[in-house]
Amino acid sequence: MKLHYISKKYEDTYTFGYKLGKALGKGDVVCLTGELGAGKTSMVKGIARGLGIKEDVTSPTFTIVNEYSGQFPLYHFDVYRILSPDEMMEIGFDEYLYGDGVCVIEWADLIENMIPEEAIWIDIRYLKDDERIIELMGPDDKLLRIIEGMDCIDEGLSN
């Protein structure tokens, strides 16, 4: 299943992330893709707030993963700079994926072969000016559960 949402400004992307965060559950994996500056980290900031995380969220570009405590843990990965999948294994990536938290992975396409099939993929692309198209992809049952939990964002969602 594929769904699309148009974000007209930063706040729309953040709000989308916030509502997504409120709908996520333990064990969910969200994979973010898009060009530099497309809004991946803005989306993660919203997800974190939706999970009840109060601290400032920053991209773990050089540390690979940042952990945050909220309703349940958020494991925020940025794999832009990894040189080999072995680096992911060294930090215990599998334990995060199958743990009690939510994993959000920026640049997930770089480690696509390590991502579980039931992951939610979100691609953020530039349209014009500040507008972005946010494309959600994933298993029908998981996307339907999440969309239901996002409450009223779906007015802008289309197939």
- The CATH number of the domain holding residue 39 is 3.40.50.300
Domain membership flag for residue 95: yes
Q: What is the pLDDT of residue 120?
A: 97
pLDDT (tens digit per residue) in 15-24: 999 999 999 9
Domain membership flag for residue 159: no
Q: What is the pLDDT of residue 60?
A: 87
Tell me, what amino acid is at 43?
M
Domain membership flag for residue 66: yes
With 0-12 / 13-18 / 19 or more C-beta atoms within 10 angstroms meaning exposed / middle / buried, residue 152 is exposed
Q: What is the pLDDT of residue 150?
A: 86
Q: How many domains does the chain have?
A: 1
Q: What is the pLDDT of residue 158?
A: 56
Sheet hosting strand 65-68, strand order edge to edge: 65-68, 74-78, 102-106, 29-34, 120-126, 132-137, 2-7, 157-158
Q: What is the pLDDT of residue 74?
A: 97
Domain membership flag for residue 10: yes
**Residues of the chain whose pLDDT is less than 70?**
152-159
Domain membership flag for residue 131: yes
Q: What is the pLDDT of residue 156?
A: 57
Give residues with Cβ within 8 angstroms of 46, minimum separation 6. Answer: 13, 14, 15, 16, 17, 18, 19, 20, 21
Can you tell me the distance from the alpha carbon of 70 to that of 88, in angstroms, rounded to the nearest whole number? 24
> Which residue range forms the structural domain that includes residue 44?
2-150
Domain membership flag for residue 104: yes
Domain membership flag for residue 46: yes
Tell me, what amino acid is at 145?
R
Domain membership flag for residue 157: no
